[in-house]
Amino acid sequence: MATSLGSNTYNRQNWEDADFPILCQTCLGENPYIRMTKEKYGKECKICARPFTVFRWCPGTRMRFKKTEVCQTCSKMKNVCQTCLLDLEYGLPIQVRDTGLSVKDDIPRSDVNKEYYTQNMEREIANSDGTRPVGQVGKAASSSDMLLKLARTTPYYKRNRPHICSFWVKGECKRGEECPYRHEKPTDPDDPLADQNIKDRYYGINDPVADKLLKRASTMPRLDPPDDKSITTLYIGGLGDTVTDGDLNHFYQFGEIRTITIVQRQQCAFIQFATRQAAEMAAEKSFNKLIINGRRLTVKWGRSQAARGKDGLKDGVSEMGTRLDPVPGLPGALPPPPALDEEAPANYFNLDPSSSPAVMNIGLPPPPGINPPPPGFGPPMFHPMGPMAPPMPPPMSMRPPGQIHYPSQDPQRMGAHAAHGPL
């Protein structure tokens, strides 16, 4: 409960009066036309227990109302949002930020020491320009690789959703769609994220959300350089449709660049450096933390031409690294042909191997009324090996030189007498 205005045991000069809260983009909401209610000295700060001005608003449609929880002095000391108590620069819990920046900020816990520490910090805030945080956070390094990898690049509006309706969980909610609370199954009560404390988050101790993010940071993938020292090309993915060469000026600080190839259709680019050292430095400084035009870019090492031609498409993944969806309706892969024995003869017509090939080539007599073809033409009338078969004429290449027989000169041909008779 806030301290009474008529109380003489508290110094009213330390009470906070503000015109606008210190909020992150997620808590403020996506609606640019927002309406807030302001209550002067409406609550006491949940950290320093001093009265402060409370702001209350709705961040969007179907969202729950939110309000400020700590005073602006406590918010400036830790550079956090007054509502969610997450860092204003990275959007991460204080424990994660202090771990990434190697900051150890021990704020006193007792009432007297806390009041003295707060007064000194207020004096430091008044002397600063307000553009940088104060205290140990302002003296820390400007950035950290781990924080850049874990930081959110876009607001997370899902955090503003209403709470779960307890009557719906018990099966007693009668509001239906008009209920302002969520009709969803609650999470596991044994989940550590279900037990969060605002003071633990502010002081950076025993924060379950911070523990989850730190475990994720320890298992993050790394970009190891390839063994082939001739590779000096980096693949940059996720650029968007309107990327230009000027958007990739970030890579000029690492060394000389030979070529920059932008593939608009794939929304990616290939940057080839002059030296391997410059390429390794660019990959180390840009992997999983490069943001251009609000997009977190994908940085990978290029592949040599030999490896690219050898691998091709493997397991449905293209050489760009994108997963290819199977095309419906296409037949599956054909089974491999059976192994053939080199010594066994090839039976292409599925003939019985026990039968003789000569027996299969049996000539059939011509139909009645049709003269047989001249010798040397057409199939044989009898089996070549039969006893009644006439002798076969020798092949054309082995015949002796002499008169050549043409089919048109056959005397048995129809019309031959008329053609060659006297006129």
Q: What is the CATH number of the domain that holds 277?
A: 3.30.70.330
Would you say how long the chain is, in residues? 423
The answer to whether position 326 is within a domain reads: no
State whether 155 and 98 are in the same domain. yes
Q: What is the C-alpha to C-alpha distance for residues 211 and 192, in angstroms, rounded to an integer?
A: 10
State whether 120 and 178 are in the same domain. yes
Q: Which of 84-93, 327-336, 380-389, 395-404 has the highest mean pLDDT?
A: 84-93
State whether 202 and 238 are in the same domain. no
pLDDT-based confidence at residue 67 (cuts at 50, 70, 90): very high
Tell me what the mean pLDDT of segment 94-121 comes to: 83
Q: What is the C-alpha to C-alpha distance for residues 334 and 152, in angstroms, rounded to an integer?
A: 47
Q: Is the pLDDT of residue 423 over 50?
A: no
The answer to whether position 225 is within a domain reads: no
Q: Is the pLDDT of residue 407 over 80?
A: no
Tell me what the mean pLDDT of segment 56-70 comes to: 93
State whether 115 and 245 are in the same domain. no
State whether 214 and 239 are in the same domain. no
H/E element, 121: helix 111-127
State whether 102 and 68 are in the same domain. yes
The domain in which residue 58 lies consists of 11-220
Q: What is the C-alpha to C-alpha distance for residues 83 and 287, in angstroms, rounded to an integer?
A: 32
Specify the long-range contacts of residues 190-198, CB closer than 8 Å, at least 24 apart.
Answer: 198/46, 198/69, 198/85
Virtual CA dihedral for 205, 210, 211, 216, nearest 10 degrees?
A: -160
Q: What is the pLDDT of residue 359?
A: 46
Q: What is the pLDDT of residue 82?
A: 94
Of 288, 256, 284, residue with least CA distance to 272: 256
Rounded to the nearest integer, the mean pLDDT of the chain is 77
The answer to whether position 42 is within a domain reads: yes
Tell me what the mean pLDDT of segment 362-367 comes to: 58
Tell me what the mean pLDDT of segment 403-415 comes to: 60
The answer to whether position 147 is within a domain reads: yes
Q: What is the pLDDT of residue 136?
A: 73
Please provide the DSSP assignment of 280-312 as one string.
HHHHHHHTTT-EETTEEPEEEE---HHHHHHHS
Q: What is the C-alpha to C-alpha distance for residues 341 and 254, in angstroms, rounded to an integer?
A: 60
Q: Which of 252, 277, 305 is the last residue of a domain?
A: 305
State whether 186 and 55 are in the same domain. yes
Query: Considering the entire predicted model, what is its pTM?
Result: 0.55
The answer to whether position 241 is within a domain reads: yes
Q: Which of 271-280, 305-314, 342-351 has the highest mean pLDDT?
A: 271-280
The answer to whether position 403 is within a domain reads: no
Q: Who wins on pLDDT, 287 or 92? A: 92
Q: Is the pLDDT of residue 137 over 70?
A: yes
State whether 214 and 250 are in the same domain. no
Six-digit token pair at 180? 């302002």
Q: Is the pLDDT of residue 420 over 60?
A: no
State whether 207 and 276 are in the same domain. no
Q: What is the C-alpha to C-alpha distance for residues 182 and 199, in angstroms, rounded to an integer?
A: 27
Task: Dump pLDDT digits (tens) for 292-304.
Answer: 887 888 888 888 7
Q: How many CB atoms lie within 10 A of CB 421?
A: 7
pLDDT-based confidence at residue 379 (cuts at 50, 70, 90): low
Q: What is the pLDDT of residue 7?
A: 47
The answer to whether position 197 is within a domain reads: yes
H/E element, 380: none
Of 368, 389, 392, residue with least CA distance to 378: 392
State whether 119 and 215 are in the same domain. yes
State whether 49 and 85 are in the same domain. yes
State whether 122 and 84 are in the same domain. yes
In the chain, how many domains are there?
2
To the nearest 10 degrees (0 to 180), the angle between helices 208-218 and 94-101 is 40
The answer to whether the beta carbons of residues 338 and 320 sit under 8 Å apart is: no
pLDDT-based confidence at residue 393 (cuts at 50, 70, 90): low
Q: Which of 17-26, 173-182, 311-320 has the lowest mean pLDDT?
A: 311-320
